[in-house]
């Protein structure tokens, strides 16, 4: 039985990753799971300088999901390179660094800086709905996405994954724009913009008013978008959105994802990532699947 | 510090002890790692509610592997917990948070101040503290809870908002009325109370340790949902944002901007 998948020339022991922002840099969850069992750890977004993020409350639960508006708080690339990368290097897992920025120059600075660091891939966050400047603007217009992707590709020393926003009219157009600009892979979906109001206090549940919806509530949207994108582009798609079990993960693989990420469901079950890995293995055994890659896009039309 | 775990705990008993306030004993191996001021995350059974509810530890019975939680119904999750009966199980995440720094209070005159649903952690603190303890608790009205348990460990002074029991007003009104003095404060309660405690401590020139709360998601320091502003740049965030779930919930009052 072979669970290895290769994305942009990087071979992962299995197709299970963590979704950026839900797993820190792995330190906090290493109490619960053996990071060596994960295909890759995708880090919390990192910018060129420290970002303080948004005011609290930053999180709110919703039916079958949660809203967050953390605002990409991060300690900046210097601390990250000194602390988080060496920590992750101790494990037999691939390191994918999520990069955020407010301007193209911000992104390029981090991407260039990471060029000399021992990380396997870069995931570019052009789809955070919770930051006022930059960020999502790059991810909601196809020409902007094309532009930033091609500029990043010129500087990047590692394969570049573009993380797409679901808050668009036509996800296929966005996927094609990223591919045309040279992206090596796509991550999708980021959170769906949402809002919650406390009717007793007549106040927004989040200080930021709006937040990104994640968790099982968004899974059908994510599966649909992964299916559409995976059938429209040649580059691999990493699927995420409410994955908490192997059944969820396999649904994404069958829809066309080459790998999957566990996000908000880490909060529900801190062992979820490894349980997904084990569950995929059990599924392969049960159905006599030799290579996990045989499942990719294998939904019958 | 021991590794955090998510485990199944068994309900030993549960009873209502005041309006909307429940007293729950859980049997769990995590009890042996717990101390005053820490908390656990409790997961609702209803799968539409994803996140663990952070609930402070009211009492620890290490020998019996039991934890006591005294909580208020604040929404659908805690409403569900209130229906649990002996023998039921609950998934819990713990032990979380730093707890009160007991060593700072050793041999000193200490105020243990609790307001409303901030009172429960004061019980385990009163049990664990080796100090001259004055326990000052504030309630809305005469619907008191835990005051008898607390009285086993020190003098208890009560304040009520409506004046129906003890001093009319808040915990600081009770301090003034009873002319109490302390070298150090440990407190848990609503934000206006904690702000007042912080200010009082600054005026008196004494140390105060306060337990904060905030909406949480992961509970283990990964998601950065539950931060509070700090005076100094901290080692983790580098942007003066401490994580209440992991760096706290107990902070020295002068270190946090509340």
Q: Residue B30 is part of a domain; what is its CATH number?
A: 2.40.30.10
Nearest to B39 by CA among B52, B22, B23: B52
Give the span between the Cα atoms of B101 and B15, in whole angstroms: 30
Could you list the residue range(s) of the whole structural domain that residue B251 is in?
A: 102-257
Is A247's Cβ below 8 Å from some Cβ in B? no
Q: Provide the CA A70 distance to its chain's centre, in angstroms.
A: 15
| Residue A137 confidence (pLDDT) above 80 | no
* B125–chain A nearest CA distance, Å: 27
Q: Which of B215, B216, B235 to mutate to test the interface with A (most CBs of A within 10 A)?
A: B215
Residues B119 and B217 in one domain: yes
Q: Which residues on A lie below 8 Å from B249 (Cβ)?
A: none
Chain B residues with CB under 8 Å of A28 CB are: 218, 220-222, 246
Q: Indicate if the pLDDT at residue A132 is higher than 60.
A: no
The verdict on residue A237 lying in a domain is yes
Query: Does one domain contain both B157 and B80?
Result: no
Residue B126 and residue B20: Cα distance in Å, rounded?
24
Q: In a 3-state reduction of DSSP, which class is residue A230? A: helix
pLDDT in tens, A140-176: 889 999 999 999 999 999 999 999 999 999 999 999 9
Report yes or no on A260 lying in a domain.
yes
Closest residue to B225, CB basis, from A63, A65, A70:
A70
CA B105 to chain A, closest CA, distance in angstroms equals 30
Closest CA to A85 of A28, A124, A19, A27: A27
- Element holding A277 (H helix, E strand): helix A272-286
CB A265 within 8 A of CB A244: yes
CA A12 to chain centre: 16
Instruction: Note whether B68 and B181 are same-domain residues.
Output: no
Report the first-to-last Cα separation within chain B, whole angstroms.
28
Within-domain flag for A84: yes
User: Which residue among A56, A65, A267 sits closest to B218, beta carbon to beta carbon?
Assistant: A267
Nearest by CB to B221, which of A24, A32, A58? Answer: A24
Q: Of the ranges A244-253, B1-10, B192-201, B215-224, which one carries the lowest mean pLDDT score? A: B1-10
> Token pair of B75, please?
């929404």
Contact B50 A31 (CB under 8 A): no
Is residue A58 in some structural domain? no
Residues in B closer than 8 angstroms to A82, CB to CB, are: none
Contact A53 B50 (CB under 8 A): no
Q: How far apart are the first and last CA of chain A?
A: 26
**Mean pLDDT confidence for B45-56:** 98
In a shared domain, residues B59 and B160: no
- Reported for B8-13, long-range contacts at CB under 8 A and 24+ positions apart, including other chains, are B8/B89, B8/B90, B8/B91, B8/B92, B9/B67, B9/B89, B9/B90, B9/B91, B9/B92, B10/B87, B10/B88, B10/B89, B11/B84, B11/B85, B11/B86, B11/B87, B11/B88, B11/B89, B11/B90, B12/B66, B12/B86, B13/B86
B51 touches chain A (CB under 8 A): yes
Please give the backbone phi and psi of residue A176, each rounded to the nearest 5 degrees, phi first: -70, -35
Same domain? B127 vs B251 = yes
Beta-carbon contacts of B159 under 8 Å, excluding residues fewer than 6 positions away, are: B136, B137, B138, B139, B166, B167, B168, B169, B170, B171, B173, B174
Q: Does B214 touch chain A (CB under 8 A)?
A: yes
CB B16 within 8 A of CB B107: no
Q: Is residue A12 part of a domain?
A: yes
φ and ψ at residue A242, rounded to 5 degrees: 80, 15
Residues B77 and B145 grouped into a single domain: no
In order, the DSSP letters of A21-47 are: TSSTTSTGGGGTS-GGGSSEEEPPPB-
> Does residue A208 belong to any structural domain of this protein?
no
- Rounded Cα gap, residues B120 and A175, in angstroms: 53
Same domain, B110 and B238: yes
Q: What would the mean pLDDT of B142-168 be, rounded to a whole number?
A: 97
B4–A215: do the CB atoms touch at under 8 Å? no
B44 and B69 share one domain: yes
Cross-strand partners of B44? none
The residue segments making up the domain with residue A238 are: 5-53+71-191+214-295
pLDDT given at position B233: 87
Last residue of a domain, one of B96, B118, B141: B96
B73 CB within 8 Å of a chain A CB: no
Looking at the structure, do residues B147 and B86 belong to the same domain, yes or no?
no
Task: Compare all CA atoms of chain A with the CA of B1 and give the residue at the minimum distance.
Answer: A31
Cβ-based contacts under 8 A for chains A and B? 111
* Chain B contact set for A68 (CB, 8 A): 217, 223, 225
Going A73 to A187 to A118 to A293, the CA torsion angle's sign is: positive
Count the domains in chain B.
Answer: 2
Chain B environment of A70 (Cβ under 8 Å): 223-225
pTM score, whole prediction:
0.96
Complex-level ipTM = 0.95
Question: Which residue in chain B is spatially nearest to A217 when comparing CA positions?
Answer: B48
What pLDDT shows up at residue A256? 98
Beta bridge mates, B42: B53, B92
Q: Which of A96, A108, A126, A128 is catalytic?
A: A128
Number of domains in chain A: 1
What is the C-alpha to C-alpha distance for residues A231 and A223, in angstroms, rounded to an integer? 12
For residue B76, the distance in angstroms to the closest alpha carbon of chain A comes to 11
Which residues have C-beta within 8 Å of that of residue A36, sequence separation ≥ 6? A91, A92, A93
Q: Show residues of chain B in contact with A79, CB under 8 Å.
A: 238
Which of the listed residues B96, B120, B138 is the one where a domain comes to its end? B96
A224: CATH: 3.20.20.70
Residue B96 has pLDDT above 70, yes or no: yes
Q: Is residue A153 part of a domain?
A: yes
Lowest mean pLDDT among A232-246, A277-291, B233-247: B233-247
Considering the domain architecture, whether residues B124 and B198 belong to the same structural domain is answered as yes
Helices (H) and strands (E) in chain A, counts: 10, 16
pLDDT score of A99 more than 60: yes
Q: pLDDT value at position B234?
A: 82
Is A100 one of the annotated active-site residues of the chain? no
Q: Is the pLDDT of residue A195 over 60?
A: yes
- Nearest chain B residue to A84 by CA: give it: B236
């Amino acid at each position: 039985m072979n669970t290895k998948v290769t994305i942009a020339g990087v071979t992962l022991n299995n197709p299970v990753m963590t979704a950026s922002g839900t797993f820190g840099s792995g330190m906090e969850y290493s109490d619960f799971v053996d990071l060596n069992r994960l295909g890759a750890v995708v880090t919390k977004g990192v910018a060129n300088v420290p970002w303080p993020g948004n005011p609290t409350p930053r999180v709110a639960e919703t039916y079958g999901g949660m809203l967050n508006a953390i605002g990409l708080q991060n300690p900046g690339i210097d601390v990250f390179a000194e602390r988080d990368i060496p920590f992750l290097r101790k494990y037999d897992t691939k390191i994918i660094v999520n990069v955020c920025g407010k301007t193209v120059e911000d992104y390029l600075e981090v991407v260039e800086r990471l060029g000399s660091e021992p990380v396997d891939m870069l995931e570019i966050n052009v789809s955070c709905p919770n930051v006022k400047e930059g960020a999502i603007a790059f991810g909601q217009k196809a020409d902007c996405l094309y532009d930033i992707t091609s500029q990043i590709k010129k500087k990047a020393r590692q394969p570049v994954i573009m993380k797409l926003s679901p808050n668009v009219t036509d996800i296929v157009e966005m996927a094609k724009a990223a591919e045309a600009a040279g992206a090596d892979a796509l991550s999708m979906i980021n959170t769906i913009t949402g809002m919650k109001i406390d009717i007793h206090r007549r106040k927004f549940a989040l200080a930021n008013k709006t937040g990104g919806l994640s968790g099982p509530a968004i899974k059908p949207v994510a599966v649909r978008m992964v299916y559409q994108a995976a059938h429209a582009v040649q580059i691999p798609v990493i699927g995420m959105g409410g994955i908490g079990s192997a059944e969820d993960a396999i649904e994404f693989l069958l829809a066309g994802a080459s790998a999957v990420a566990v996000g908000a469901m880490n909060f529900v079950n801190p062992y979820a990532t490894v349980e997904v890995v084990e569950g995929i293995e059990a599924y392969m055994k049960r159905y006599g699947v030799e290579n996990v890659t045989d499942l990719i896009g294998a939904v019958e039309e | 510090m021991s590794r955090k775990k998510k485990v199944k705990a068994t309900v030993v008993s549960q009873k209502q002890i005041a309006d909307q306030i429940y007293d729950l004993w859980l049997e769990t191996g995590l009890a042996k790692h717990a101390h005053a001021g820490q908390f656990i995350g409790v997961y609702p059974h209803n799968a539409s509610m994803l996140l663990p509810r952070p609930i402070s530890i009211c009492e620890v019975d290490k020998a019996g592997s039991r934890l006591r939680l005294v909580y208020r119904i604040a929404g659908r999750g805690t409403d569900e917990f209130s229906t649990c009966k002996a023998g039921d199980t609950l998934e819990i995440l713990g032990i979380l948070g730093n707890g009160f720094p007991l060593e700072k209070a050793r041999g000193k005159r200490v105020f243990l101040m609790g307001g409303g649903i901030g009172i429960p952690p004061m019980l385990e603190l009163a049990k664990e503290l080796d100090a001259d303890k004055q326990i000052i608790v504030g309630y809305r009205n005469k619907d008191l809870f835990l005051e008898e348990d607390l009285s086993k460990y020190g003098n208890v002074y009560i304040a009520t908002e409506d004046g129906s029991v003890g001093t009319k007003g808040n915990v600081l009104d009770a301090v003034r009325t009873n002319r109490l003095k302390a070298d150090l404060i440990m407190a848990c309660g609503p934000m206006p109370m904690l702000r007042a405690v912080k200010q009082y401590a600054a005026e008196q020139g004494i140390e105060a340790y306060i337990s904060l709360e905030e909406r949480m998601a992961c509970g283990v320091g990964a998601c950065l949902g539950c931060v509070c502003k700090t005076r100094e740049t901290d080692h983790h965030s580098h942007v003066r944002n401490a994580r209440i779930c992991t760096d706290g919930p107990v902070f020295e009052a002068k270190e946090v901007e509340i």
